[in-house]
Amino acid sequence: MTYRAPVADMLFALRHVAGLDAALAAGRHGDLALEDAEAILAEAGKVAESVIAPLNRVGDRHGTPLKDGAITTPPGWREAYRTWIDGGWNGLSADPEHGGQGLPLVLNAACTEMWNAASIAFGLCPLLTAGGIEALAQHGSDDLKTRYLDKLVSGEWTATMNLTEPQAGSDLALLRSRAEPVGDGSYRIVGAKIYITYGEHDLTDNIVHLVLARLKDAPAGTRGISLFLVPKVLPDGSRNDLRCSGIEHKLGIHGSPTCSMAFGDDGGAIGWLIGEANRGLACMFTMMNSARLNVGLQGVGIAERAYQQALGYARDRRQGKAPGSAEASPIVAHADVQRMLLTMKAFTQAARGICYLTADALDAAEGPEGQTAHDRASLLTPVAKAFSTDIANEVTSLGVQVHGGMGFVEETGAAQHMRDARILGIYEGTNGIQAIDLVARKLPLNGGATVRAQIASLRRTAEGFLKDPDPAFGRIGARLRAGIESLDRATSFQLKALASNRPEAALAGATPYLRLFGLVQGGACLGRQALAANAALKAGETDPAHAGRIALARFFADNLLTAAEGLEASILAGGHFTDDAELALAS
């Protein structure tokens, strides 16, 4: 049940999948050296392993009781949070002007994976603060930045996102919370919000709520929503008119409070506008894009942890004789258990590659590549979020399965990973919404040029196997090419459906399309690792992990990427089912 930060694997993915070597060589990260990156990961790994990981079970068992409007975090959480922010981890990639360390997002991505592998419930708090920092940095007035940004960057205060209302979950057009200007530049906010993660807690003295609400006379729908900063404690030290009115009893992430929030019961909570009036959704999307990648990284983290635990169990537990064995073998010797463990590991590393690649695109968007890289990040973000969290559900469920009956017993911890992971495909935009975002908004970017460029980059990876047809690769290259062609055809189908004004045909295939994209992109990530590992072996490196990376990519190609063609067929069926869905569901 311990967690060992897989620093070598992460560094390898950063270097050879997410282009860290190339970025460092191009001077894109200033004077940062590879050794620095490695040292940062190693240090973060120690903190994740020793400070955060031990909180995970404690959080699950204790939960976060609410009493008289105050929430008590589980034993040890306050101290751990303090240690963590004292290490400067909260502001790792934030602007040095506000106290951040200005390090690349790819490094922060790897660290985010580690915090969340150690405990999703813990990692969720800084994840929301990070979104708040970004929204404030990009859209906040200088005055608001001065008052709030430094303390959010240091982690002395935390941030929340207040979007959801009972009638408005995925559909923000239905929001009803109201805001009225007071005349002194501040507003009075009134409304009820639900599912507010860390909406109340005792980790810090103040909580900075970012709240979506409507101004009087604002247009209906999403164009009449504004974003407000509403602190728990006002600048004069008094309590604002807001409170936690309840907490949810959830399937998982018990260590993190999920609050109902009441704003303005006594006349109105005081808040300040962030960005322009009625443009709150744009500001919120700034938060959400960052948060979506980070949720993808939560998926990678919990998948890695579930994998490690299952592997450890499979090495200890003896049941049945593997072919050729005279006595009971450790279950890791059985082909079916190997299949489960390799599936867990291959999916985890594929998802890691996609997430790190997305973070790299965000870093590159700050450099000469600019908008092109930004669009690439926009394209990849829904895949990073949804694919990584879908596989997190699958991997954590396999983790239970590897444990057999022990997996169903809570004491073992495998079931907790499965329970905790289940929220990831739902929050920050359900995975169905991610798929719609990918198909309806991201594929058409630049008339399809962004997705075509991404497919071209996948082809370059596949060509690497043609150029260097080492027998150890098996059919990696062939499977990857077949998968890319499936993705290419499916992409053409989707773009054509959108262009022909048949959105329902495109939307009906959105979920299998996202899965296909993730599988092929993930297969390419593992393929790049295999190519780099092979080159390292040929260069005389003796690390046995290299041969393991080739074997893992081959497993993925032979056993998981094989689903590509079937997904293509489903997409190309074109959503005929939407015509008679009501009939089929009626009986």
Residues designated catalytic: 428
Kindly tell me which of 148 and 427 has the beta carbon lying closer to a copy of itself. Answer: 427
Judged by CB, which is closer to a copy of itself: 283, or 526? Answer: 526
Q: Tell me if 511 contacts a copy of itself by CB under 8 A.
A: yes
Give the count of beta carbons closer than 10 Å to the beta carbon of residue 41. Answer: 21
Binding residues for a copy of itself, rule CB under 8 A, total 100
4 binds a copy of itself (CB under 8 A): no
Whichever of 16 and 29 has its CB closer to a copy of itself, that residue is: 16
If one asks whether residue 211 binds a copy of itself (CB under 8 A), the answer comes out as no
Quick one: which of 173, 449, 456, 499 contacts a copy of itself (CB under 8 A)? Answer: 173
With CA atoms as reference, report the closest residue to 263 among 288, 231, 223: 231
Residues 425 and 397: their CA atoms lie apart, in Å, by 14
Binding mask 122-161 for a copy of itself (x = CB under 8 A): ----------------------------------------
**According to the binding rule CB under 8 A, does residue 385 interact with a copy of itself?**
no
User: Taking the alpha carbons of 575, 576, 580, 584 in that order, is the dihedral positive or negative?
Assistant: negative
Quick note: the x/- pattern for a copy of itself over 181-200, rule CB under 8 A, is: -------------xx-----
Instruction: Give yes or no for a contact between 296 and 175, defined as CB atoms under 8 angstroms apart.
Output: no
Q: Is 364 in the site for a copy of itself (CB under 8 A)?
A: no
Contacting range for a copy of itself; rule: CB under 8 A; set: 33-41, 77-85, 261-269, 540-548: 540-548
Is 240 or 397 the residue whose CB approaches a copy of itself more closely? 397
Distance of closest approach, residue 92 Cβ to a copy of itself, in angstroms: 26
Give the count of beta carbons closer than 10 Å to the beta carbon of residue 327. 6
The sign of the CA dihedral 59, 44, 395, 455 is positive
Residue pair 453/397 in contact (Cβ under 8 Å)? The answer is: no
Q: How many residues does the chain have?
A: 587
Minimum distance from CB of 86 to a copy of itself (Å)? 32
Residues 507, 520, 524, 531: which binds a copy of itself (CB under 8 A)? 507
| Rounded-to-integer distance, Cα 96 and Cα 133, Å | 13
Beta strand 158-162 pairing with 178-181 = unpaired
Judged by DSSP in three states, 111 sits in helix
330 binds a copy of itself, rule: CB under 8 A: no
Q: Which position has the token pair 């419930």?
A: 121
Cα–Cα distances in angstroms (integers) from residue 298 to residues 163, 295, 400, 421, 496, in the given order? 21, 5, 18, 8, 34
Q: Rg of the Cα trace of the chain?
A: 24
Question: Residues 46, 145, 147, 250: which binds a copy of itself (CB under 8 A)?
Answer: 250
Element (H, E) at 356: helix 335-365
The one-letter amino acid at 80: A
Identity of the residue, 405 or 540, whose beta carbon is nearer to a copy of itself in the bound complex: 405
How near is the Cβ of 47 to a copy of itself at its closest, in Å? 22
Choose, by CB under 8 A, the member of 223, 239, 339, 441 that binds a copy of itself.
339
Angle between helices 564-572 and 476-499 (to 10 degrees): 10
Count of C-beta atoms within a 10 Å radius of residue 132: 27
For residue 346, the minimal CB distance to a copy of itself (Å) is 8
Between residue 294 and residue 323, which ones bind a copy of itself under the rule CB under 8 A? 311, 318-320, 323
Interaction with a copy of itself in 461-500: which residues (CB under 8 A)? 474-475
Q: Is 535 in the site for a copy of itself (CB under 8 A)?
A: no
Q: How far is the CB of 216 from a copy of itself (least distance, A)?
A: 22
Between β-strands 178-181 and 66-67, what pairing exists: parallel, antiparallel or unpaired?
unpaired
Q: What angle do CA 205, 277, 230 make, to 5 degrees?
A: 10
* Closest CB 139 distance from a copy of itself, rounded Å: 25
**Which of 52, 435, 484, 490 touches a copy of itself (CB under 8 A)?**
435
Residues 392-431 that bind a copy of itself (CB under 8 A): 393, 397, 400-401, 404-405, 407-411, 415, 418-419, 422-423, 425-427, 430-431
Kindly state whether residue 513 participates in binding a copy of itself, applying the rule CB under 8 A: no
Tokens 């045909």 locate to 505
Could you say whether residue 222 binds a copy of itself (CB under 8 A)? no
Under 8 Å between Cβ of 29 and 23? yes
How crowded is residue 221: how many other Cβ atoms within 10 Å of its Cβ? Answer: 13
Our finding on whether 79 is near a copy of itself (CB under 8 A) is: no
- 338 contacts a copy of itself (rule: CB under 8 A): yes
What lies within 8 Å, CB to CB, of 409 at 6+ separation is 415
Residue 117 sits at φ, ψ, to 5 deg, of -65, -40
Minimum CB separation from a copy of itself for residue 283, in Å? 21
Using CA atoms, how far apart are residues 17 and 3, in angstroms rounded to an integer? 24
Measured from the CB atom, the residue of 164 and 289 that comes closer to a copy of itself is 164
Q: Could you tell me the smallest distance in angstroms from the CB atom of residue 505 to a copy of itself?
A: 9
17 scored as a contact of a copy of itself (CB under 8 A): no
Q: Looking at the DSSP assignment, which residues form a beta bridge with residue 165? A: 168
* The token pair that represents 348 in the structure block: 């985890």
335 binds a copy of itself (CB under 8 A): yes
Least separation in angstroms between residue 563's CB and a copy of itself is 4
